[in-house]
A = this chain, B = another copy of it.
């Protein structure tokens, strides 16, 4: 007999990785969101939000996890209804791919409950629709790694084409999330509409070096290529204490440091777990000292599995 309840987890992700604005992203182990899908007799979708989080819509019309689930249900047309509970564990507007994790967790739970009519990769366009709803435009550098795991390049949006980077998973990623909110749409407004060719060349040189460094598993190579001459300079203005925190990360041994997603979370590149812990502590202290903001620190290698079913019963 098929399952009646599925619980799924989808991890946070670092998108806009260094110079890879809109194209490079990778999944981390924590934090993440959990979704629980249960059969119900009534047709359609019932939605419930659990967890105490800022400004997350709690109704099926506006919540992104409910929205993408309803798209999937429309596609599959199951013979039973679904009750979806989103256990929201990540703040939104964090730069950690919070909405992507919600969408992906919900899609994986609902798809599994329906007997897995779609392969994991086939859930990507649904998750992307969620990003479009949230941000006005769909960016796949959070949803793709959260769903598929690993590190990805989104090389084309039209048609959607996501390339997995064959990484050697030897680098430790430090993510520091200060307790403030930057709406993605606001951060996007700051991105320049045209760029000098010299900056563009430097940016794609760094993208190439960063991908080569991920393939080689070299924190030194990756760190120095985490240089963003186009987007970081304008978005840094939205993060109080940005340059102090970056300085603290580099002084503590990080090989590179930049903004995660559209911020305010920041990430740093570390060679070892002990170095990562020292870097995380230094960045947290710097946010407190420079801006009076408390923050959470997450350390992991790349999450290679991505979203997964936690439990079925």
Chain A residues close to B by CB (< 8 Å)? 19-24, 153-156, 161, 163-166, 191-197, 200-213, 215-216, 221, 224-225, 230
In the complex, the answer to whether B197 meets A196 with C-beta atoms within 8 Å is no
Chain B's nearest CB lies how many Å from the CB of A221?
6
Task: Tell me how many chains of this kind the complex includes.
Answer: 2
Q: List the 7 closest pairs (A to B, CB-CB), nearest first.
A: A215-B215, A155-B209, A153-B208, A23-B205, A211-B211, A204-B204, A163-B209
Known: A166-B216, A194-B196, A224-B161. A204 touches B156 (CB 8 A): no
- Contact assessment for A200 and B202 in the assembled complex, using a CB-CB cutoff below 8 Å: no
**Contact A205 B166, beta carbon cutoff 8 Å:** no
Collect the chain B residues with CB atoms within 8 Å of residue A191's CB: 197
- Choose from B23, B192, B194 the contact partner of A204 (Cβ within 8 Å): B23
Known contacts: A193-B196, A194-B197, A195-B195. The answer to whether A205 contacts B153 by CB under 8 A is: yes
The 8 Å CB contact of A202, one of B20, B156, B164, B194, is B156
B225→A163 contact, CB < 8 A: yes
